[in-house]
Chains A and B, each alone.
Chain A
Amino acid sequence: MAFEKKNGWMGGFIPWVLPALFILGWFLASRFEIVPSYLMPSPKQVGEAGILYAFGAPGEGPFAGRFWLDAWVSCGRVFAGFALAALFGVPLGVLSGRAESMQRFLSASINALRAVPGICWLPLAMVWFGIGYRTTLFLVALAAFFPIYINTAAGARQVSPLLFQAGAMMGVRRLRAVFAILLPGAMPNILTGLRLGLGISWAYLVLGELTGVPNGLGAVIMDARMMGRIDIIIVGIVLIALLGRTSDLMLSGLLRICFKSARRLT
């Protein structure tokens, strides 16, 4: 708290260098027609498609104005799936990180399941849950569970036994020690696990939505592919990147607001 690092204006500028260079390269490539525009439309075309997608009135085009509903639906799916994963991943991770018996009981099975690529669950999920919300939720929750569980377990395992001894001699034991010592001590790893889990949630969201649901950013990308609208595919990709990054910042920010340990240890 006393020695917080502050970025100068250079620090705020540096993250934008790579995207700016990329857009410049893209612009030049389309300007001199190095890549045919039916494979890679110009930045201008994509920008216009994006504006129409976000702010156009319905009827101005097949995708006009759909963004808000798509984003709303997709965010809802991501957060529901992620919340489910966190709800199971954090407590089970803490248990298996601290209790050897739980670790023996869980870790072999979980690691075996983890080895299965998430996409393998898609056919089964479609049979079980049909096309749409529940399949997407299942895929997102399943995929996000593993990084949350594994990082939480690693974090819980690493909390020094001396800190528990110190707590015990000051009268803080058992359940109180879990909240006063274990969770704060494991917080950096829990935060990492949650961030990885949220990132992978977006990946599996698109997988779930590719199966043919009417709304959502993944659905838009799939529709655009069928209609040969490369510009909309790119718009979808960029928007998912932006939403993914925003949600990541919001997650970190929220944890930092709620927990001293997240604020001070990471």
Chain B
Amino acid sequence: MTTQLKLLTGKREAGIVPTLEVTRLSKVFKTGEGPVTVLRDLDFTVGKGEFICVLGPSGCGKTTLLNLLAGFEKPSAGKALLNGRPIQGPGPDRCVVFQEDTLFPWLTVEENIAFGVNGVPKKEKQEKVLHFLDLVGLTPFQDYLPREISGGMKKRVSLARVLILQPQILLMDEPFGALDAQAREEMQDLLLSLWNQFHHTIVFITHDIDEAVALADRVLLMQKDPGAIAEETRVRLPRPRERTAASFQDYCKALYQSIKKPR
């Protein structure tokens, strides 16, 4: 009954079918000093092709949320459904771009991108890999090892190696947090241009307000102690978004004030 209702409201909000449905999702960690509730009763849906940013201060459980969605951890209560099916364990239908560098250091750029592609004839695989190399602009660097390329380029490889698997949802955990401002903006633009072409469903975790406003259809603002969704903001700005525009800055200010609001 509730699921149906959620489906309906999700439809009405996004105007599209929800891909991800999160219902009363909670996570409690057992520690030496007793249980700690990291996430409490999260409820949200993500529509197909929707770009969601989860914004929150550090320690609010953003990464735990992502680990639950990726299947690296199990929820203590509640559930997360992907296309109606409960999420159980990690799998290539929910690909992750990590905050840290997780490329395989013994594989070249090209081999890293090919890593997850299996069960495809060799020639087809090769063509696919070259296509995705091209999409992220790394064709000249295909034979380089991760240690020989810059942080921004590594992120491009991380993006390409999951996009090539055509996941149903793309989970990104502060992927550009460690980059310098210029490289970060470049990566945001690249991600948006890819999203414009392929309409991936994306859950993007960040603590950077500007980044959330630049990218998201909807921003889920999280609070901490315990981690929960405090507010939801729909960013009604036309794309491509102009970071210096007054309307852009208004969204940033509003989100900033929401974060500062005592709860």
Contact = CB atoms under 8 A, between A and B. Distances in A.
Nearest to B67: A165
Interface of A: 1-3, 160, 162-163, 165-173, 180-181, 184-185, 187, 260-261, 264-265
Contacts of A264: 105-106, 145
A260 B96 contact: no
Interface residues of B, number: 29
B102 A3 contact: no
A162 B72 CA distance: 10
Nearest to A3: B148
A2 B145 contact: yes
B76 to A, nearest CB: 20
A162 B106 contact: no
A171 B118 contact: yes
Interface of B is mostly: loop
B100 A170 contact: no
B106 A169 contact: no
A265 B94 CA distance: 30
Nearest to A259: B106
Contacts, number: 71
B106 A170 contact: no
Contacts of B71: 169
A160 B102 CA distance: 9
B67 to A, nearest CB: 9
A163 B116 contact: no
8 contacts: A1-B108, A1-B143, A1-B145, A165-B70, A166-B96, A170-B116, A170-B161, A181-B104
B98 A184 contact: no
Interface string B84-112: 00000111101110101010111110010
B81 interface: no
Contact of B102 (A162, A171, A184, A260): A162
B248 to A, nearest CB: 33
A69 B144 CA distance: 47
A169 B90 contact: yes
Contacts of A172: 115-116
A162 B98 contact: yes
A162 to B, nearest CB: 5
Given A165-B72, A181-B104, A170 B145 contact: no
B102 A170 contact: no
A181 B104 CA distance: 8
A180 B98 CA distance: 19
Contacts of A181: 104
A1 B111 CA distance: 13
A241 B162 CA distance: 50
Contacts of B100: 162
Given A1-B143, A2-B148, A169 B104 contact: no
Contact of B70 (A160, A169, A171): A169
Given A2-B145, A264-B105, 8 more contacts: A1-B144, A3-B148, A166-B98, A168-B72, A169-B95, A264-B106, A265-B105, A265-B106
